[in-house]
Structure 1
Amino acid sequence: MGRVKSATRNIAFGYVGQIATALMSFILRTVFIMHLNEDLLGINSTYGNILSLLNMAELGIGTALNFSLYGPVARGEKEKIKSYMQLYRKAYFIIACVVAAVGLLLTPFLQYFKLRSPENTSVRELTIYYLIFLFNTVSSYFVAYKYSLINAEQKNYIQTNILTITKVIVVFLQIIVVIVTKNFLLYLLTDAVVQLIQKIFVSKFLDKMYPFLKEKNVEKLSKEESDEVWKKTKALVFHKVGDVARLQTDALIISTFVEVAMAGVVDNYNMVISTVSNFVNIIFNSVISSFGNLIATESREKQFSMFKVYRFFASWIYGFSCVGFMVLLTPLIRIWLGDHWILTSAAVYCILIDYYFKGDRIVLSNYKTAAGVFEPDKYLALIQGVVNLVISIVLVQTPLGITGIYIGTIVSGLIANVTKPIIIYRECFDMKAGSYFVDTAKYLASLVFVLVVSQLISVNVLANLNILTFILMAIIITVLFNGFYFVLYGRSEEFKYLTGKVREKLGR
């Protein structure tokens, strides 16, 4: 199956899955807020982030191994695949043990995470909730390694379908549990039980799909091959630790320095943003394995051409969604949940600024992952993590409050926006990155222009906020942004390539 066809299938199934899970998740969140208190929503968000901190024990082994599999899969080297998968299985067993041990050691100290304002929740209840989260995390490692092969074969849709079906079942059952029992513990146990059943099924399903992985005659990797995996893994340790410090600590800082309920308020905004960005990311994440195949089989010129196409597309899609969020996110929360759940405008803008710049570097990150370029900037992520923690903790205690946390996130993220292009262009394309920054300025200026015009129009359109005026403003933004970008970039080579692929698919 060709790269474009594989990516198209992955994207198509990804969208179906995302639509289903997004709809169910919004219903569940609404039911949760109606029947359970906001402190529990904040606890749910905070514990999710604490377990994300523990996930840094994975240390990037999965990413390093996926990169190692692209070549053997493209060349059909079954024995080499078996060797890498054996290494992966052993590594993830160790990871599961490490995460379980560290997670259990943290349990007595949960009471020292301030989690301000959960008056109705005892330490015993908090501990039980945490242990359920920990169980879900640890058990996932026993099947996670098996997904690497289907992803290396560009069959991401298999994982997508399994996760979608599981998510729909979980959410459906959780909605019933919340409405009938109003019990947060049963809400969490429902998720844990269904997820466990899914993991058992996945393990058996993938064993049948790849029966050769159960064969006993597995050759050990050569020292050179093993050293290459561990070299990249060591570099990814730094990336993982830095990313955790930068991306997974916001809810914990909010719960500690503001209040746990505010973590739930922010989580509503993040849920909307992540729902939309997940639609966008389906496209870009679905082509990581295609990038890996491209790098393994095509010339550097072809690689650079495709990189530019996806970078242009990312700037367009993330620019469009960012403008939409800037104008419509708070009105949407107001319609959906009411004024009680509204964040300050400054905090929302900071969250969305970080969202745009994160999107601006998504193709860089995905290409870098597919190419296995981890060593040159391995200390950069640590620097970003330290910058984020220092700025966020200092500013959250000033009158800026929660806005200060996201200022730290923006500043630390921009470090990567400046350095990653230089590294990727040098390591992967043997070029200087000047043209990349010129394009960045051009795309950003286009976005700001459309945003200013959209904001001016929204003052009148949204003066009387309701569902109809909200939809009208969404239509205006869609026409204005895409029309403006078509006029500016419709003649570019990147746009012509994308429209050519669309016509090719429609022609079929």
Structure 2
Amino acid sequence: MRLDETLLGINSTYTNILSVLSLAELGVGTAINFSLYAPVARHDKEKIKAYMQFYKKAYRMIAIIVAAVGLILVPFLKYIIKDPVGIDSNQDLINFYLIFLFNTVSSYFVAYKYSLPNAEQKNYIQSNVITITKITTTLVQIIVILATSSFYGYLISASVIELAQKIFANIYLNHKYPFLKEQNVEKLSKEETTDIKRKTGALVCHKVGDVARLQTDSIIISGFINVAMSGVVDNYNLVISSVSNFVNIIFNSVISSFGNLIATESKEKQYSMFCIYRFFASWIYGFSAVGFYILLTPLIRLWLGDKWMLPGAVTAAILIDYYFKGERVVLSNFKTAAGVFEQDKYLPLVQGAVNLVISIVLVRRIGLVGVYIGTIISGLLANFIRPVIIYRVCFERKAAGYFIDAVKYIAVILLAGAFCIVCRNIFPENLTILSFIVMAVIISVIFNSVFLLFFSRTNEFKYLYGMFKERYLQWQANGVNKK
């Protein structure tokens, strides 16, 4: 058994609605995370306690706001979910939504505590907890669906696991940082609270714009096409996000390291490390985008059957946005580490407006692919504007080199992708599991061989090769010592 299109569409739409509600956070977390770098570096326990106490109070207020606004939306759900085929009762739509709302609201009571280990460059704590939770949740949900075919069971099992994770994280972080439970906490100075409010004010624009651009596709599809189509798209997004979440853990884990790099190293060193970081991201996101384009639809056909397949143009549009989103991850992470929040604060608002206008106009005229054309165009605004800001503010140089490298990376990715498509055509249209695995291996070898052919002599590749080689030798030495 499996969830039908309607239930998957509801799952996707409610997830995006709650992401919109999370606007209440409005960048407070990012602003305080940045403010924690200095007191953590100085081991200033009293100042850390002050920031964390402020953070705690802010997030409790945010939880109350999200809960209140979320409950206000309940009467309007029937207008957001179009054609919920197979849902017998409006009460079911409400109950499903309330489970999602509970998961979101409860997260605010522990999420703020991760900011301290993250500021200490111990991002792996949060990454490990999230990864283990996701794997456990997925396995349990599969068992529940196979055993009961119940969407209630599917949602409640995830909710119980996530609640257990929050309780565990709260106990663990209280044990690791016992001073957070101390009652004698000094208040932040007026200057410090003003600085947080100023940064938060800039991040409000980022948050509103990002939500309007990133979290509305499913809502538009559900409202202008039907909720079942949102469910079909969600299968593709599920596979893509499963990979991208893992990839993003790697790239997001360096934010704190960049924060220290910016505080202690020269601009030339910062620029060099940024170029290495950007090269690695282009390689990984380019490889996964090409792999998804060739393998994703055959995987969906093997897994779910022909009726769950999307047109090739829609798949291509989703993956074009996926690649450029990867480029933006690099820019956003470095910008966050450097505390560059205000220079482009209105850009996300423009992006959000462009996305909504183009997506709504085009979905009426050309259907599903129009939604993603709007997403791509609005996203590219940041790909052009943010490099200029970062290069000027952080590196004090022009961004021409960034765009030249972007053209080189895209050209090689397209060339490697063309070779991979030619090899794909050798295989029959209907793949077996064995032929799918063989094709995946061949495509991996071809893409990476072409990429290495062009870039193996660059300083960026040599640095990465040396770093991985050093770590491999350390791992090997540790293994020998243990024996």
For residue 473 of structure 1, what is the amino acid of its counterpart?
A: M
For normalisation by structure 1, the TM-score amounts to: 0.90
Supply the AA of the counterpart residue of 1:434.
A
Per mean C-alpha deviation after superposition, the further-off stretch among 354-363 and 159-168 is 159-168
Partners of 1:36 and 1:468 in 2: how far apart?
26
Shift of 1:76: 1.6
Where does residue 420 of structure 2 map in the other structure?
Answer: 454
For residues 44-87 of structure 1, the C-alpha deviation after alignment (integer angstroms, 9 at most, x for no partner) is 11111111110111101111111111122122221221111111
Contact persistence 2:127–2:249 (CA under 8 A): no
| 1:467 has 2:468 as partner | no
| Structure 2: gaps spanning 5 or more residues | 475-483
- Which region of structure 1 is more displaced relative to structure 2, 157-166 or 488-497? 157-166
Displacement, 1:487?
A: 1.7
What is the DSSP-based 3-state SS (H/G/I as helix, E as strand, rest coil) of the residue aligned with 1:72? helix
Equivalent of 1:481 in 431, 440, 447: 447
Matched, 1:337 2:304: yes
4+ runs deviating over 4 angstroms:
none
1:504 pairs with one of 450, 462, 470: 470
Cα pair 2:82 2:226 within 8 Å, conserved: yes
Counterpart selection for 1:411 from 332, 357, 377: 377
Q: CA shift at 1:117, angstroms?
A: 3.7
Equivalent in the alignment of 2:197:
230
Which residue of structure 2 aligns with residue 444 of structure 1?
410
Q: Aligned pair 1:495/2:461, yes or no?
A: yes
> Which deviates more, 228-237 or 196-205?
196-205
Aligned pair in 2 of structure 1 residues 312, 113: CA closer, same or farther (>3 Å)?
same
Separation in 1, partners of 2:147, 2:445: 44
Q: Indicate which of 98, 112, 118 corresponds to 2:65.
A: 98
Shift of 1:464: 5.0
| Distance in 1, Cα, partners of 2:233 & 2:320 | 15
Question: Offset at 1:470?
Answer: 2.1
Deviates more, 1:187-196 or 1:169-178: 169-178
Moved more, 250-259 or 169-178: 169-178
**Do the aligned residues in 2 keep the contact of 1:115 with 1:256 (CA within 8 Å)?**
yes
How far the C-alpha of 1:362 sits from its partner, in A, is 1.6
Give the paired residue count.
474
Alignment of 1:286-435 (within 5 A): 286-398=253-365, 400-435=366-401
| C-alpha distance in structure 1 between counterparts of 2:83 and 2:239, whole Å | 25
**Would you say the 8 A contact 2:5–2:230 is kept in 1?**
no
Q: Is 1:190 aligned to 2:157, yes or no?
A: yes
Given residue 461 of structure 1, which amino acid in structure 2 is its aligned partner? F
For the 8 Å contact 1:150–1:158, the answer to whether it is kept is yes
Q: SS of the residue aligned with 1:57? A: helix
Matched residue type, 1:79: E
Identify the residue that residue 479 of structure 2 maps to in structure 1: none
Instruction: State the alpha-carbon separation in 2 of the partners of residues 501 and 452 from structure 1.
Output: 31
Q: CA deviation at 1:136?
A: 0.7
Instruction: Give the conservation status (yes or no) of the 8 Å contact 1:116–1:256.
Output: no
Partner of 1:14: none
In the alignment, structure 1 segments of 5+ residues that lack a partner are: 1-33
Amino acid at match of 1:328: L
Structure 2 counterpart of 1:69: 36
Asked if the contact 2:413/2:451 (under 8 Å) is kept, the reply is no
Change (3 A) 1:452 1:419: same
Q: Out of 291-300 and 58-67, give the one that drifted further.
A: 291-300
1:324 aligns to what SS in structure 2?
A: helix
- After the TM superposition, which of the residue ranges 114-123 and 285-294 deviates more from structure 2? 114-123
- CA–CA distance in structure 1, aligned partners of residues 143 and 437 of structure 2: 31
1:260 to 227, 231, 249: 227
SS of 1:378's equivalent in the other structure is: coil
Is contact 2:423-2:443 (8 Å) kept? no
TM-fit CA distance, 1:116 = 2.0
Question: Which residue identity is paired with 1:271?
Answer: L
Greater CA deviation, 448-457 or 458-467?
458-467
Q: Which TM-score applies when normalising by structure 2? A: 0.95
Q: Does 1:147 align with 2:114?
A: yes
Distance in 1, Cα, partners of 2:4 & 2:305? 15
Given that 2:416 and 2:451 are in contact with CA atoms closer than 8 Å, whether structure 1 keeps it comes out as no
Task: State the one-letter code of the partner of 1:164.
Answer: T
Change (3 A) 1:249 1:213: same
Decide which moves more: 167-176 or 326-335.
167-176
Deviates more, 1:295-304 or 1:331-340: 295-304
Query: Secondary structure at the residue paired with 2:36?
Result: helix
Measured in 2, the distance between the counterparts of 1:351 and 1:345 equals: 10
Which one is further off, 406-415 or 86-95?
86-95
Deviations 1:233-287 (A, max 9, x none): 1111111110111000111111111111111110110111111222322220111
Q: Which residue of 2 aligns with 1:28?
A: none
RMSD: 1.5
The corresponding residue for 2:481 is none
- Within 5 A, what are the aligned runs for 1:203-214? 203-214=170-181
Instruction: Supply the AA of the counterpart residue of 2:190.
Output: K
Find the aligned partners of 2:315 and 2:183 in 1 and give their Cα distance: 55
Give 1:16's aligned residue. none
Deviation, 1:461, is: 2.3
Check whether the contact 1:67–1:370 (CA below 8 A) recurs between aligned residues. Answer: yes
| Corresponding residue for residue 206 of structure 2 | 239
Alignment partners' CA distance in 1, 2:428 and 2:327: 29
SS for the counterpart of 2:354 is helix
**Alignment equivalent of 1:177, drawn from 137, 144, 154:** 144
- What is the CA deviation profile of residues 17-45 of structure 1, one whole-angstrom value per residue up to 9, with x for unaligned ones? xxxxxxxxxxxxxxxxx244321111111
Note the alpha carbon deviations across 1:471-492, whole angstroms, 9 max, x for none: 2322222222211221211111
8 A contact 2:10–2:81 mirrored in 1: no
Cα deviation, residue 92, structure 1: 0.4
* Percent identity for Structure 1 against Structure 2: 64
- Paired amino acid for 1:466: T
Amino acid in structure 2 at the alignment position of 1:410: I
Cα distance in structure 1, aligned partners of 2:181 and 2:14: 36
Among 41, 51, 57, the residue aligned to 2:18: 51
Give yes or no for contact 1:74–1:296 (8 Å, CA) kept in 2: no
Q: How does 1:157-168 map to 2 (within 5 A)?
A: 157-168=124-135
- Assess if the C-alpha contact under 8 Å between 1:310 and 1:363 holds in 2: yes
